[in-house]
Amino acid sequence: MSQKPRKVDHEGDRSLIARVGAFQRITVKHRKLEEALESLLAYLFNEAEEGIICIIGPTGVGKTTLRKLCITAVLAHEISAMDEDRGYIPIMEVEARAPERGNFDWATFYRDSLVALQEPLVDRKILTKEDSAKVRAEGNGAPGFRSLLQYRIALDNALKFRHVKYFLIDEAQTLLKVSSARLAGDQMDTIKSRASLTGVQHALIGTYELLNTGDLSAQLSRRRRNIHLPRYDCDNAADLEEFISVIHTFQSRLPLPCSRDLVESADFLYAKTLGCVGILKTWLNGVVSTAAQLGATKITIKDLERKALPNRDLMTMLAEIREGEDQFAGPSDTTLMAELGLKKSPHSNENGADATQVTDAAKTPRRRPGQRRPTRDPIGRSAIA
């Protein structure tokens, strides 16, 4: 028996597509995101700060959203100066490309940076007589080296004439795609040197792999400022409550109703996202997009299950996240004091544990996702505002 074709509602379809697009563009400013943004802007706007800023967190935690919010905040801060000087670009961003083979390609990185600055005639830059003489003096006039130098000099000039203050490098862990630890150290030395020579504050945004750069030299460790954008921890009551609040916010903005209250499925949503808001948002984006394409009138738990990441991938991600979290936390104050042969930290509590390691989870009893706090319900009919 043939199925009766669905009546096409072009106006309704256009409205749904618009709602799906609006949902995919929304950003929820949750607590950990706002804390990381506040720390980042404090470093950027403090002219006394030197060194490289590293914004570090797991994949899917929301680093891209943090980068966009940072750019918006800087542009708002510099709007008056930009009105006075139409050529002024206070902040720029570029994504570090992973090499197809071999080591990280600086020439490609410099070229991508010039494109990001909308520099004209990127591939027609020429060396001055002075720079050409320098190449010959170094005995390296190979085309690859010449292109690298051309792009680097062109970028230095562009940063100068555009008065760029802040340079954001996304996927910065790609810089470490090199064949040896010595080369990895050279990569970070190059960034540090460029920040010093150009006077442009560099901020690297990437995964926990960026932490490995601190082990390369004491100088790099001293001149690096780390900002952590962590996931929400289900063992921390405050984190769990915030994550549930994020779920509720996303549900209230869904372009299609859900057949079940997502807060009641908070355990499932947490497990399939590992507490990362970015993964949750990407997941919901895919679900609503597919549902709209199929002409669905609501979203079901089955729809969520079909679009969720496989458990095998989630277990791999979880192992990497836990390793990175432990690495970011580093040794305790007590361990450092003992290594130096000093007495225990004066900030330790009576049990000898570091006060900085006493978490909210130890102070607040654990509740399951969706479980209410023990509060008294109001009696009678509440007023509707």
Higher pLDDT, 3 or 64: 64
- In this model, does residue 361 exceed pLDDT 60? no
How many alpha carbons lie under 13 Å from residue 357 in its C-beta half-sphere? 15
Instruction: State residue 212's pLDDT score.
Output: 78
pLDDT band for 5, please (50, 70, 90 cuts).
very low
**Least confident among 39-43, 76-80, 134-138, 247-251:** 134-138
Instruction: State residue 358's pLDDT score.
Output: 41
Higher pLDDT, 109 or 7: 109
Higher pLDDT, 344 or 361: 344
**Least confident among 7-16, 138-147, 230-239:** 138-147
Across 308-322, average pLDDT: 97
Q: pLDDT by residue (tens digit) across 186-238?
A: 888 888 888 888 999 999 999 999 887 655 555 566 667 899 999 999 999 99
Determine how many CB atoms are found less than 10 A away from the CB of residue 162. 18
> 384 vs 226, 272, 273, 380, 381, CA distance in Å?
47, 36, 36, 13, 9
- In this model, does residue 347 exceed pLDDT 60? no
pLDDT above 90: percentage of residues in the chain: 54
Give Cβ neighbours of residue 110 (< 8 Å, ≥ 6 apart).
148, 151, 152, 154, 155
pLDDT band for 67, please (50, 70, 90 cuts).
very high
Across 91-101, average pLDDT: 91
Residue 231 CA to residue 276 CA, distance in Å, equals 5
Instruction: State residue 376's pLDDT score.
Output: 44
Q: pLDDT by residue (tens digit) across 234-243?
A: 999 999 999 9
- Only one residue has tokens 């797991």, namely 58
Residue 72 CA to residue 75 CA, distance in Å, equals 5
At how many degrees (to 10) do helices 10-25 and 277-293 cross? Answer: 170
Cβ-based burial of 109 (10 A; exposed 0-12, middle 13-18, buried ≥19)? buried
Highest mean pLDDT: which range of 180-194, 302-316, 358-372: 302-316
Residue 201 CA to residue 15 CA, distance in Å, equals 44
pLDDT band for 118, please (50, 70, 90 cuts).
confident
Across 261-273, average pLDDT: 96
> 102 vs 140, 174, 204, 267, 336, CA distance in Å?
20, 12, 22, 42, 38
pLDDT band for 383, please (50, 70, 90 cuts).
very low
pTM of the predicted model, to two decimals? 0.78
Across 350-369, average pLDDT: 48
Across 171-198, average pLDDT: 85
- In this model, does residue 370 exceed pLDDT 60? no
Residue 103 CA to residue 290 CA, distance in Å, equals 39
- In this model, does residue 146 exceed pLDDT 70? no
Instruction: State residue 336's pLDDT score.
Output: 83
Q: What value does the mean pLDDT of the chain take?
A: 83
Across 340-353, average pLDDT: 64
- In this model, does residue 384 exceed pLDDT 80? no
Instruction: State residue 138's pLDDT score.
Output: 53
